[in-house]
Amino acid sequence: MHQQHNETPLKFFSLLLAISLSAATGTASALDFQGYIRAGAGSNLKGDQQSCFKLVGAAAKYRLGNECEVYGEALFGQELYKADGGTRLSAHVMANLYAPTGVENLFESSNKYRLPQAYLAANDLPALNGGRFWLGNRYYKREDVHINDFFYWNPSGIGMGVEDVNLGGLKLSYAVFRKDNIDQLNMAPRHDFQLRGIPANEGGELQLGASYIADTGSDPTRHPGWSLSVQHVQREAAGRWNKLALQYGTGPGIGLGSTGDFTLGSDVSRTRLIEQHYFKASRVLDGLLTAIYQRDAAPTGGQDWVSLGGRLAYSLGGNWKLLGEMGVDRVKPDGAASRHLNKFTLAATWSSAPGVFGRPEMRLYYTRANWNEGAQLAASPGDALSATGAYGASRHGSTLGLQVEHWW
């Protein structure tokens, strides 16, 4: 039985090694290696393993000191061929690991080891004015809120397309996807159109996106859907920036870029507004702020989700800094009680670089959360917010732990 638990991890790491060795034998260019890892361990201060806090109905949680899982990914890229005109053919493969219950159960068979990216790309094509053609499974033009790892615009999947075709400074992209990920049970063509680089104001640009999910089956419970996304990106001095995004979708288009539930008709919709801002107040202080509003509407009843949060980094000198994060989530289902969750984290952090984006980081953190009765009643049995969870009938709890995070 123990051998069975370790079979999948061994296959996973063997696959990583094989990819690395095969890519390194290429002669066109050096291996491009990128990756990400986060892992940690903690206690809920009641003598048990770490508990994490997420509100039912919220699409994300605030991450700092609030991640019980282990996640890692490794992306290998290799230039296979370069033509005299500058066109380059490249191959890309990514392997990842997701262990939802942390390092104590790192080699359990329930963990996920996958290849979320495996694609070929022809880059710098003269026929596309310097754009590229790609084919395979890839992360595609993702937009996220960093402090809660919320990918609000994520049209990734298995497909093909032309990307960043230069039209007088504008970047036009079109892709068609058949499947978003391995967990998607049903498939249908999803067409994604994007136009980026539209001048809006000094230092600002507009980015437009449209997605259409076709209904190709004879099943009357399957419906088509669509979504629209508009984003304004403002870039300022000293690396400061601001993003404001408005999205709307109906039917399976409520994925707002990805594919939602095919059984949903046009009478089901989702509206989302996201504001996020990175500021640098001084040489030693910077931070991220975000605000999210999402409205789900359906004949059977919808809900509102509101989220406000921020993360600050204060340099203490040398390799040390202090991180603080606060997040507030509110979910109000139609005709039901409101759910509230407040979460605060303070972390003494060693890092190779200052600021909220400096990595690698090793953190000693303390997290405290409190929630209301509506959140407690909605939580699943055993969840940290549930009356049968680690904190029992109490509607507050704390954790203490260590975490490492790095990207390269």
Instruction: With a cut of 50, say whether residue 24 has pLDDT above it.
Output: no
Instruction: With a cut of 60, say whether residue 7 has pLDDT above it.
Output: no
Say if 64 falls within a structural domain: yes
Say if 166 falls within a structural domain: no
Structure tokens at 167: 């039209």
Instruction: With a cut of 80, say whether residue 139 has pLDDT above it.
Output: yes
Q: What are phi and psi of 5, to 5 degrees?
A: -65, -30
Condensed to tens digits (0 to 9), the pLDDT of residues 35-69 reads 999 999 999 887 788 899 999 999 999 999 999 99
Say if 336 falls within a structural domain: yes
Say if 355 falls within a structural domain: yes
Measured CA to CA, the distance from residue 131 to residue 92 in angstroms comes to 17
Residue 172's pLDDT band (boundaries 50, 70, 90)?
Answer: very high
Say if 229 falls within a structural domain: no
What residues make up the domain containing 403? Answer: 1-117+323-408
Instruction: With a cut of 60, say whether residue 283 has pLDDT above it.
Output: yes
Q: In this structure, which amino acid lies at residue 158?
A: I
Beta carbons of 223 and 257 less than 8 angstroms apart: no
Measured CA to CA, the distance from residue 122 to residue 86 in angstroms comes to 10
First-to-last C-alpha distance (Å) of the chain? 36
Say if 184 falls within a structural domain: no
Instruction: With a cut of 60, say whether residue 395 has pLDDT above it.
Output: yes
In this structure, of 25-29, 222-226, 381-385, 403-407, the range with the lowest mean pLDDT score is 25-29
pLDDT at residue 103 in the model: 67
For the chain, the three-class secondary structure string (H helix, E strand, C coil) is CHHHHHHHHHHHHHHHHHHHHHHHCCCCCCCEEEEEEEEEEEECCCCCECCCCCCCCCCCCCCCCCCCCEEEEEEEEEEEEECCCCCEEEEEEEEEEEECCCHHHCCCCCCEEEEEEEEEEEEEEHHHCCEEEEEEEECCCCEEEHHHCEEEECCCEEEEEEEEEEECCEEEEEEEEEECCCCCCCCCCEEEEEEEEEEEECCEEEEEEEEEECCCCCCCCCCCEEEEEEEEEEECHHHCEEEEEEEEEEHHHHHECECCCCCCCCCCEEEEEEEEEEEECCCCEEEEEEEEEEEEECCCCCEEEEEEEEEEEEEEECCEEEEEEEEEEEEEECCCCCEEEEEEEEEEEEECCCCCCCCCEEEEEEEEEEECHHHHHHCCCCCCCCCCCCCCCCCEEEEEEEEEEEEC
Beta carbons of 111 and 79 less than 8 angstroms apart: no
Beta carbons of 344 and 325 less than 8 angstroms apart: yes
Examine residue 360 and say whether the peptide bond preceding it is cis (omega within 30 degrees of 0). Answer: yes
Closest CA to 383 of 147, 148, 55, 110: 55
What is the pLDDT of the chain when averaged over all its residues? 91
pLDDT at residue 221 in the model: 81
Closest CA to 353 of 302, 319, 402: 319
Contact residues for 328 (Cβ-Cβ < 8 A; gap 6+): 307, 308, 309, 340, 341, 342, 343
| Number of domains composing the chain | 1
Say if 66 falls within a structural domain: yes
Mean pLDDT of 19-45: 74
Residue 219's pLDDT band (boundaries 50, 70, 90)?
Answer: confident
Structure tokens at 121: 């790309």
Mean pLDDT of 183-196: 90
Residue 222's pLDDT band (boundaries 50, 70, 90)?
Answer: confident
Instruction: With a cut of 90, say whether residue 403 has pLDDT above it.
Output: yes
Mean pLDDT of 267-292: 97
Condensed to tens digits (0 to 9), the pLDDT of residues 64-101 reads 999 999 999 999 999 999 998 889 999 999 999 998 87
pLDDT at residue 104 in the model: 62
Neighbour-count burial for 201-223, b at 16+ CB within 10 Å, e otherwise: eeebbebebbbebebeeeeeebb
Beta carbons of 140 and 109 less than 8 angstroms apart: no
Condensed to tens digits (0 to 9), the pLDDT of residues 141-160 reads 999 999 999 999 999 999 99
Residue 107's pLDDT band (boundaries 50, 70, 90)?
Answer: low
Instruction: With a cut of 60, say whether residue 140 has pLDDT above it.
Output: yes
Say if 359 falls within a structural domain: yes
